[in-house]
Structure 1
Amino acid sequence: MNDQNSDTTHFDPRMLESLICPVTHAVLSYDAERQELVSKAAHLAFPIRGGIPVMLVSEARELE
């Protein structure tokens, strides 16, 4: 199988419609290169691991 659903590390950008920043409740943007969901309002980037967003503040990277 070579379809996108067989790739376990694939993040579905449609998930952005359901996810919000756990700190500010603002919308998130997807950074495909870094595999992160970015909250500009909170200045945090949440990692995506194995195609699953990790929405824990303790796991987020602070943005400069």
Structure 2
Amino acid sequence: MNDISAAPKPILEIDPRLLEALVCPVTRRPLTYDKAAQELVSPTAGLAFPVRSGVPIMLVDQARKFEPQKN
């Protein structure tokens, strides 16, 4: 029996207009889209918000944390 969860996820695009409208809920700064990871990234906050089935999940408790960039 095939395990569906092991199948690779299709890489989805984000509508550029949606990306322009979305901002980080912490910093209120623009986000960048990491297509391969399917995440919206806030380098200043050090957070990467998942995109699931084309829907951005903009909840801080669902975001992946990483070392923020220094300006």
Name the aligned partner's letter for residue 10 of structure 1. L
TM-score (norm 2): 0.73
Contact 1:11 1:48 in 2 (8 A): no
Q: Note the residue ranges of structure 1 that are not aligned, 5 or more in a row.
A: 1-8
For residues 14 and 37 of structure 2, the distance between their equivalents in structure 1, rounded to whole angstroms, comes to 15
How many pairs were matched up?
56
Higher relative contact order structure (alpha carbons within 8 Å, sequence separation ≥ 6): 1
C-alpha distance in structure 2 between counterparts of 1:23 and 1:46, whole Å: 12
After superposition, the CA RMSD in angstroms is 1.3
Identity of aligned residues (%): 52
- Structure 2: stretches of 5+ with no match in the other structure: 1-10
Structure showing greater radius of gyration is 2
